[in-house]
Each structure stands twice: as C-alpha cells, then as structure tokens.
Amino acid sequence: MSVLMPKPSEAILQRRAAIVNALRAIVPGEGVVDAVNEMRAFETDGLTAYRQLPLVVVLPDTVEQVAAVLKYCHANDIPVVPRGSGTSLSGGALPLQDGVLLVLSKFNRVLEIDFDNRCAVVQPGVTNLGITHAVAHRGFYYAPDPSSQIACSIGGNVAENSGGVHCLKYGLTANNVLGIEFVTIEGEILRLGGKHLDAEGYDLLGLMTGSEGLLGVVTEVTVRILQKPETARAVLIGFPTSEQAGECVAAIIAKGIIPGGMEMMDRPAILAAEDFVHAGYPTDVEALLIVELDGPAAEVDHLLAEVEAIAKATGCVTAKVSQSDEERATFWAGRKAAFPAVGRISPDYYCMDGTIPRKELPKVLAGMKAMSQKYGLGVANVFHAGDGNLHPLILYDANKGDELHRAEEFGNDILRLCVEVGGVLTGEHGVGVEKRDLMPEMFDEDDMKHQQRVKCAFDDKHLLNPGKVFPTLHRCAELGRMHVHKGQVAFPDLPRF
C-alpha cells in the first residue's frame, strides 16, 4: 500500500476477541462479522488500488445500536470507520486494521414522502436513484445524480457532498439536503435542520455535508425533491479538439445560459462509451459535449438554438438534438456508463476528481495531454464541464512494473495543476486518503489547524475515520495550546474564554 495509514495499535489488536464479544452484545445475530473470508467484501471501496481488512465489521439495525457501538468505541479508544455502499473513489471508506468498520447498509428504508413540502425522509442506506424511484409516480425526482447513483447511498452522498450531471443547475448534495440525524462519537443522537428551508445559528448542516465521516455518523437524511421539468432535450456537439469544446463551455455560461447538465468526453472516452452502450455518439471527433436544456418547451427550443449557434462559433463539426425522451436517455446512458466502459479498454484506471475555473479548461486539458506523454500512460477525460469538475481516468496496468506508482504521480500532478490555475483538489469525491497528502498544496498550516480544531470539537480523541483528509494530525491539546512570549500572550487585549 503506497498510501500510509496510521500505525495500528497493538493493544487494540490484542483485545480483538473481547472487542468482538462486546460488539456482539450490542448488535446480536449476524450483525457482527469477524471471519477473515467474510470481511474480504469490505476490505476496500471504489479506490480499489488500496486494500486493508478491518478489525471487525458491524452492521447495526437501529439508531440505538449505532449510538451504543460508538459510545463503546469512544470509551475504549477504538477507531471507527463509517461506511455506506463503499463506492467512495477517494478511499474515504478504507478500513483500519485496528478499527471497527461501521456499515449502514441495513438502514435502507424510505421513512416518509411529503409531497406538500417537497421533501423525503430516508435512511442513509437508501440508494441515490432509490429516492427518485420512490417519488417518480407523482412526477418528482431527486436532482443530484452521480454516475454511481444506482449503487451509491444517500449517506455516502452526504459524507462526500456528491454531485452528478445535473449539479450545474440544481446543485450538489449540500444544496438538496434539508436536515440530518447523526450520532456523535460519544453516542449522542442529534438532529440538524428538518423540513424547513434554513435553520438559525451556525450552519452545522453545511459543515456535516462533505465531512467524510470525520465528525459523526449520519443515520437519517431529509432531502429536497423537485418536480420534473415540463420539457428536457439534449444535444450532442462534436469538436475537432478538446480545447474548442472547453471554449464552447465557457461561452455558453458567459451567455447566461445554465443548462440542466453539460458534460464533456474526449476521444478515448467517446470510443469506449459508444462501443459499450451504442448511444449514437460521433466517433470521428476529439471531444464531445452533451448539453441538456430543461424547462417550458418554448424556452428549451430557444435555448437549444442559442447553444447550437455558440457551438458553431467555437468550431463544432457536428450537432445532434434528441427527438424523444428515449433518445435523450440514451445520450445520457453513454455518459453514465463511461467509467465501466473505460474499464473494458484498460486493465485498471485511476479516477481523479479536481475542480477548476471554467475558463481554464483549455489550459488544463492541454496540460494533461503533456503529462500523459511524460508518464507514458493514457488518459480518458469524462467530466462535469459546466462547473469545471474534472474526472480524468488514468489508464494503467497494476501488474506491469511501476505503472500504479506512475498513475498516482500523474494524478497528483493533475491536482497540483488544478490548484495552480485557481481550482480545488476535489469537486465531489472527497479527500479521503487519495488526496490527503496533497492538502498542503491548497491549505497552509494555519488553515489546516483551524480545520482540525473543528474536528476536535466533534471528536476529541480523533477516533472517527482517522488517517483520512489530514496529512498530519495534531492532538487536540496541542492545537489548543496558547503561545506565551516574555509573559505576554498574543493580542493580550482580546477577551479570553
């Protein structure tokens, strides 16, 4: 494992049998898994290059069991890694050798659908697409739609602040979650938000969304549901170069048009997706945009004409507008299946996630092309072009020499470039272990310490998901120290509490 995890505690490993027995008393029946072969299913997440067996796997049935497990682990200084469906692409759910893997997959019920208030209350194990299926009969849907929506759980979406092809217009998970119930490491059950639009005081709900399991374990989620638009049509636009496609994206947004979705694929991704899904993609172009406009029919027709005019002005060579909902769905099926499609042309691939200002798309795409030659590895680009959220897929073969190492270095350089042009390390996959050691590229030491102080406020012993996000952890006591110089503290006139 090239990504180093915290050194396991020998004291905890020696107490494993007693810990397993104690957890079985809390979660009886088949809720505790400790056999090595049975734990293999949980040894990794979507970042499959890294694997690690947990100390023990616990699958609680109730919120009270979750609280009791966390309270026990806190009292006995045992790390806990929360896990949903295990689709994290940043190693966010990677287990710890001396830690309890707390799996919420049994929390899979839709608890309430409130069409009057346009929201649904669900347990964290409900899949993203499952929410839409639950409300579709009344013409509603849940807007955030990551490509893994058929499998990823809403609890994991909250942990990573997931997005999807419709996040440009309708927002990420943070913009569509109204409330949560969560359990602290001490076993306290708390609620934030609810069916109302905003809660008073600090935005703790915003803090929890995207916190990657470091602050608490989510056990219930209230989400906003939307009514399906009257009309939705998509257009496939092909370009001779990726740079021209990037220029088209910037021009569409500059015109004030906010599509329901705007995705981009380069030639390797186009060919792989078309061969896999047969979506009708042009195979003689270097870059493809999928632009979806939604709303009243007259508005959609007008905006489609505007987008086509912009595309021609930026050098497109082909444009194909969907003529039915079925054809539009086929356009998107190719994009949604792009990741598994690329898996058919390469033994392994490393899926990156960085976000840049839209105007920097041509520069970053050119930079990735140069990096591909430098590292001797292919790259297929599939990303949310509208908000600049890149998902380069670095192609490699883990069984060949140092290709995994080169893929990691290639990915690190892509993320450094994202930060260099004014972007950020992640758009929706989270930091996890994948980007942990790159955090200093974006944050200075003071920034990191402030983030860790928030961690200390929720988890004073750093038991929740340790080894993720922060490259170097400080003990809470160290972060709270006050420097005294010649008998004076800094800013002595400020009141101290």
Using DSSP, state whether 457 is helix, strand or coil: helix
What does pTM read for this prediction?
Answer: 0.90
- pLDDT at residue number 482: 42
- pLDDT at residue number 497: 38
Q: What is the mean pLDDT of each successive set of 10 residues along the chain, which is 497 residues long?
A: 80 97 96 97 91 96 98 98 94 96 98 97 97 97 92 96 91 96 98 84 93 98 97 96 89 94 93 93 95 96 97 96 94 90 91 90 89 96 88 94 94 97 94 94 94 95 96 76 50 45
Residue for token pair 């800013």: 491
Those residues with Cβ within 8 angstroms of residue 350's Cβ, 6 or more apart along the chain or in another chain: 49, 393, 394, 396, 407, 408, 410, 411
Contact 165, 263 (CB under 8 A): yes
Residue for token pair 């406020």: 457
Q: How far apart are CA 25 and CA 68, in angstroms?
A: 10
Those residues with Cβ within 8 angstroms of residue 390's Cβ, 6 or more apart along the chain or in another chain: 352, 353, 354, 355, 356, 364, 381, 383, 414, 418, 427
Q: How far apart are CA 237 and CA 312, in angstroms?
A: 9
- pLDDT at residue number 419: 97
- pLDDT at residue number 2: 62
Nearest of 438, 321, 339 to residue 380 by alpha carbon: 339
Q: How far apart are CA 330 and CA 60, in angstroms?
A: 39
Using DSSP, state whether 414 is helix, strand or coil: helix
- pLDDT at residue number 201: 82
Contact 208, 218 (CB under 8 A): yes
Q: How far apart are CA 151 and CA 126, in angstroms?
A: 9
Those residues with Cβ within 8 angstroms of residue 227's Cβ, 6 or more apart along the chain or in another chain: 118, 139, 140
286 DSSP assignment: S
Let me know if 288 is exposed, middle or buried by CB neighbors in 10 A (0-12, 13-18, 19+).
Answer: buried
Let me know if 139 is exposed, middle or buried by CB neighbors in 10 A (0-12, 13-18, 19+).
Answer: exposed
From residue 423, alpha-carbon distances to 358, 441, 471, 477 in Å are: 10, 11, 20, 33
